[in-house]
Amino acid sequence: MAPIRILIVDDSVVIRRLLSDTLSGDPALEVVATASDGRIALAKISLLKPDLITLDVEMPVMDGLETLAALRKLYPKLPVIMFSTLTERGAAATLDALSLGASDYATKPSHTGSPAVAIERIRAELIPKIKALCGGKVPLKFPPLSGFRPAVKVRPRSSPRIEIVAIGSSTGGPNALTALIPQFPADFPVPIVIVQHMPPLFTRLLADRLNTLARLEVQEGKEGQRVQRGQVWIAPGDYHMTVVHKGSEFVLATNRDPQENSCRPAVDVLFRSVAQTYGANVLAVVLTGMGADGTRGSADIRDAGGEVIAQDEASSVVWGMPGNVVASNLADHIYPLGGIAPEVVRRVSMQRALASVARP
């Protein structure tokens, strides 16, 4: 199989060399060229026809956002991974890039770190994203999860009253959430809790942006906050988020326990907690994302009697997370992104109404 052809665009000679050497060390990848700014990159794309571009956010002459806007007009389907600094400015620019059509992002290694650490970060973070986004060249596989036990579908009662909606997403998730969350009405009767794989700063800025678009209140999750209707909570970067009972209330808890599925926050952690806390009264949604985070948690939700909706392959940027849920026979329903919010609203309203009628 031909290697994935990559064009690296960055104004830093050091970063260009680091990326070139590290990516070229993988036999499935080939760095076909580098460029120091957006104008040079646009000229090289038509000649080299790369399969994917890594694009720096901050560059002279033509920065990453300007380059991306021009690139999307000419090459709407070409995968682009933004390479940004882990700063508030870098995070904000990255979210702008995702809204302009970037496929994903990776954060630059710290200037103060060792070269060996930087190389390992690129191998661990960037290379899997490149392979996931170029799925046509690297076949999508769903290997069995070690120690994974398929769920035993339990239904304590028919159509249990939904008390919370839990959502997990990763690659492609910020745009999916931007399309999804504003569709929920202001009187949506249950809280929504979300894990989106993102580092610190990014999750807060994502919550702030969604809050300006949504009719519900969207916030980054905070320790001890009461979980109630009309609110959407996004797990903070580098913290797992759970929902726990505290007296008669449900509240958020955060921790820095070890990563799960190489992630913190992890979807499995959130899903497991709502299954334990709410039992059958959970509706989970697994959106676009690479990897298998959310599969074990979906099994926990199904075991408790809750339901799981998965995004379909056609509307997913990467059909890893939802694809693994479907392949594990854990999805009760599969919908395109545009159909998920209406279906969630319908199910929450219908099942709460049925439960109210059935209540003696």
- Three-state helix/strand/coil letters over 144-175: CCCCCCCCCCCCCCCCCCCCEEEEEECCCHHH
**CB neighbour list of residue 43: distance below 8 Å, 6 or more residues apart:** none
Other beta carbons less than 10 A from residue 338's beta carbon: 11
> What's the Cα-to-Cα distance from 56 to each of 35, 121, 311, rounded to whole Å?
10, 17, 30
Residue 107 to residue 85: CA distance in whole angstroms: 5
Q: Assess contact for 297 and 284: CB atoms under 8 A.
A: yes
Residue 90 to residue 201: CA distance in whole angstroms: 9
Instruction: Cite the active site residues.
Output: 170, 197, 293
Residue 304 to residue 148: CA distance in whole angstroms: 16
Structure tokens at 38: 């957006």
Residue 162 to residue 167: CA distance in whole angstroms: 14
Say how many Å lie between the first and final Cα of the chain, rounded: 64
Buried b (16+ CB within 10 A) or exposed e, 67-92: bbeebeeebeebbbbbbbbbeeebbb
